[in-house]
Amino acid sequence: MTGTYAHAPGFIVGDRPKIVTSRFEYEDSYTLTRYLATDGYQGLRAALSRPANEVHDEVRTATVLGRGGAGFPAGTKWGLTPQGVYPRYLVVNGDESEPGTYKDRLLMERDPHQLIEGCLIACYAAGLSQCFLYIRGEMALAQERVAVALNDAYAAGYIGKNILGTHFSVDIVLHWGAGAYVVGEETALIESLEGNRGMPRLKPPFFPAANGLYGQPTIVNNVETLANLPWLMCNGAEAYTAIGTKTSPGTRMVAVSGHVKRPGVYEIVNGVTTFRDLLYKDEFCGGIRNDNELKAFVPGGGSAPWFTPDQLDLPFEGSQVGAAGSMLGSGAIMVMDETTDIPAAALTLTRFYAHESCGKCTPCREGGTWLERILSRVVDGKGTSADLEQLIEVGTSICPGDFPHASNEKLGLTAVPFPYKMNTICFVGPSAYAPVNSALVLFREEFEARIVKRHTIPVTAVGAAL
């Protein structure tokens, strides 16, 4: 059985294990009343009934992988704070803005108490004495829902002084951004939270767990990562790892958008569900629109190198996807069918990253702009073949060496595994190049055609309405 709910646009439910979306069926899932009627704050109770270090161990044993992009296990991250240095802070990354990504907003709008409970469990387990919940500026409804939830939870004694009558006390402060993609990067998020321009810091020395907010040890975790914790505390690490695989336990929220019959957000079993399942099975997207051919797909958010049908049988598992030349990133798949104008599609992503460059490092600031300019020229039919070489040259100045890409049987290509080397502070620069490189490596003939016959081929819009 699959279905949708008018109150949760985009979310598609199915007969699969539900860890973070179990309340989405209720129209009033965001209220404290509904939350309490559906096991709400029981995970917190379970956690507080044990010493903090045991709760931390449970999270470590469960291997809760970070859902923000890098996939680093939360329990391990919490253990990286230096011994004896206090205060330590929790910063919740609710800045969701990676192209293709849509899950954290749903979790904040539909189940804010679950996120709050997750924050409390993390603070208890890792000894974090204040929590800042940073929500993307453009998400009005999420901010409202979380504000109401926080107010209600404070009034009911779940947040603040002496939580549930214990000596565990922590404030959760709602913070919100003002529109800048790069602020989603954890060190930029901290800069922004300190009242500054949201520019990433150099790592080392600024690994947040050691040197974060106000120079103190700081845990930055994604919304979905934290939303897993209440279920984990209620059901235990064994039940958690029974879902999914050893390296990728539990479930994952995945958004599939673009040219599929039923685009949507799905909670899938981690590690085993394949891209083919997601794109073609009836319980998921049900195939490509109009039964067209699949041309390419972006497997892990706009920053990820692209895949073609050759990679459809890969499961949603980080190391295999990495070896195949891309990344799972933020759980965002963008699907392009046979009608897609590939250079124009790449341009929308490159333009995004070029515009979102914070300007701190030259290869990204200058390189991104040049990639956008040259690619625009090519898309407009005004490019030369020297431009194609130039794109690669600029890309190499951002990321020296072989850039990761997928294998392709027809083209006789073998995969270059992820990750890449980079000359920049953060991943925005390389992300501007990723779509260009993928498009050029996998669909070079589309660029050549633009150049050779540039006066006769009309330039069509991306995905001309079909």
**In the range 315-334, which residues lie near other proteins by CB under 8 A?**
332, 334
Bridge partners (DSSP) of residue 65 are 73
CB-facing half-sphere around the CA of 304: CA atoms within 13 A: 31
What CA–CA distance (Å, rounded) separates 270 from 246? 10
Q: 429 is in the binding site of which of other proteins, ligand FMN, ligand SF4, none (Cβ under 5 to 8 A by kind)?
A: ligand SF4
Residue with Cβ nearer other proteins (177 or 249): 177
Residue 66 binding ligand FMN, by CB under 6 A: yes
Structure tokens at 259: 């040219």
**SS3 label, residue 142:** helix
Q: 84 is in the binding site of which of ligand SF4, ligand FMN, other proteins, none (Cβ under 5 to 8 A by kind)?
A: other proteins
Residue 191 binding ligand FMN, by CB under 6 A: no
What CA–CA distance (Å, rounded) separates 111 from 291? 35
Question: What residues make contact with ligand SF4 under the rule CB under 6 A?
Answer: 182, 199-200, 357-361, 364-365, 424-426, 428-429
CB of 333 to ligand FMN, least distance (A): 17
**Among 88-96, 127-135, 271-279, 281-289, which window interacts with ligand FMN (CB under 6 A)?**
88-96
**In the range 186-245, which residues lie near other proteins by CB under 8 A?**
192-199, 214-216
Instruction: Identify residue 230 by its one-letter amino acid code.
Output: P
Residue 80 binding other proteins, by CB under 8 A: no
Residue 182 binding ligand FMN, by CB under 6 A: yes
Residue 412 binding other proteins, by CB under 8 A: no
> For the chain, what is the largest distance between any 2 Cα atoms, rounded to a whole number of angstroms?
76
**SS3 label, residue 63:** coil
**SS3 label, residue 298:** strand
Q: How many residues does the chain have?
A: 466
Cβ atoms of residues 448 and 383 within 8 Å: no
Q: 460 is in the binding site of which of ligand SF4, other proteins, ligand FMN, none (Cβ under 5 to 8 A by kind)?
A: none
Instruction: For tokens 């899938």, name the residue.
Output: 268
Binding-site size for ligand FMN (CB under 6 A) equals 24
Q: 412 is in the binding site of which of ligand FMN, ligand SF4, other proteins, none (Cβ under 5 to 8 A by kind)?
A: none
DSSP character at residue 202:
P
Instruction: Identify residue 28 by its one-letter amino acid code.
Output: D
Q: 143 is in the binding site of which of ligand SF4, other proteins, ligand FMN, none (Cβ under 5 to 8 A by kind)?
A: other proteins
Nearest to 134 by CA among 61, 64, 190: 190
